[in-house]
Structure 1
């Protein structure tokens, strides 16, 4: 995929293909490993490392927002937040915050 990067870039910039057409032409770009590698090729930054760093940065704010929620969403978030308060490892905090975003997102509806 590294050898065809310039070709793909030109295709995207000049042609603006539909997502389905692009997926048909470059199916490997729709798997996790290639998405990470493509991001690294474009930005020279590790996607997963950057994501986790930002997640850690925003975890206190997200946790505070989740604790403040009431109603149906708050009820769904309580077990997740309880799990967070029981274990303080970084992996558990990340998991709890990510799991907490799901009920929050479901309640808000589509983008």
Structure 2
């Protein structure tokens, strides 16, 4: 007997609602890989994502999602995402989970 059955026994008149599943944003997946590279700018490490050929609004959503999941700063300029710090491995795993092909460049 699981928790739902126990709750139904305790509260027979209550109507239980099924939890809603999270809807993933509709981001256009491309055939070419997104290039994930590492640079140093003004002596500080920076991770750069480029090569997305879909809508720029989708790429901005992706940038915001990456920044919030990693809790780091960054920006979106000239169809590239710039993330502060060296987070290539984490970003590549996030993008692969979403269904993107990712290519690691530099190091």
Output the TM-score relative to the length of structure 1: 0.25
Larger Rg: 2
TM-score, scaled to structure 2 = 0.25
More helix by share: 1
Considering fraction of residues, name the structure with more strand.
2
